[in-house]
Homo-oligomer: A and B are copies of this chain.
Amino acid sequence: MGFKEWIIPQEKHFFCLLDQQANVVLEGAEALLDMVKDYNDIAMKRDRMKDIEHKGDDLVHTIAEALNKTFVTPIDHDDMSKLASRLDDILDYMESAAHRMWAYEIKTIPPEMVKLAEVVVSSVRETTHAVKDLKNFKRRNEILQHCIEINRLENVGDDITHTAIANLFKTKDVLEIIKLKEIYEHLEMATDKCEDAADVIKDIFIKNS
């Protein structure tokens, strides 16, 4: 039986909610990139990230309640709930990175951090597309292509982070090291969580195709 045949209205509703959530995560990624690229009005931009994160939280709760109230759907509830939770993790790490830029009074964003934020945005964009393709079923190749790209970007993000932190240690400015290291790690965790989301998406796709 194909993916299309058994899809039912209830499922469509969940996919719409996941779509909305993925869009909010992408909105957060773009706000983050704007923040590091045009590093002004930091308090305002950090508040914007916080607002986007709250919007994401509300959607997670809506999805959780909808899942808890629905008893039989072909797609595994746990997978849906796991996917919503991974998407939320991505947003949380981006928000906590932005928050630390403001709270730790970071004066300038190092170029490697801008590069890492660009990787985060690319990875979130792929993740958003993969979530959308999950709804539009039958796009097997497209979904797998997004997942492969997310994996590749996670490795790129890893390498940028490792090099940046190794270089950071050479500066000997301990307070800056502690602060920037933590921000790099939160950004890198965002790409890790994209990979976790991609794993759930692949699982859902394989189980249902």
The interface of chain A, by Cβ under 8 A from chain B, is 64-65, 68-69, 99, 103-105, 162, 165-166, 169, 172, 174-175, 177-179, 199, 203, 206-207
Asked, given contacts A68-B203, A69-B206, whether A103 binds B165 with beta carbons under 8 Å apart, the answer is yes
Contact A177 B177 (CB under 8 A): no
A178 to B185, CA, bound (A): 14
**Chain B residue at smallest Cβ distance from A60:** B199
Residues of B within 8 A of A105 (CB): 166, 169
Asked, given contacts A65-B206, A68-B203, whether A103 binds B172 with beta carbons under 8 Å apart, the answer is no
A166 to B103, CA, bound (A): 6
**Chain B residue at smallest Cβ distance from A71:** B207
Tell me, rounded to whole Å, the shortest Cβ–Cβ distance linking A165 to chain B.
Answer: 7
Contact B162 A99 (CB under 8 A): yes
A169 to B173, CA, bound (A): 13
A175 to B206, CA, bound (A): 47
Tell me, rounded to whole Å, the shortest Cβ–Cβ distance linking A180 to chain B.
Answer: 12
Closest A-B pairs by Cβ, 4 of them? A68-B206, A103-B166, A174-B174, A68-B207
17 contacts between A and B (CB under 8 A): A64-B199, A64-B203, A65-B206, A68-B206, A68-B207, A69-B206, A103-B165, A105-B166, A105-B169, A169-B175, A169-B179, A172-B175, A174-B174, A174-B178, A175-B177, A177-B178, A178-B178
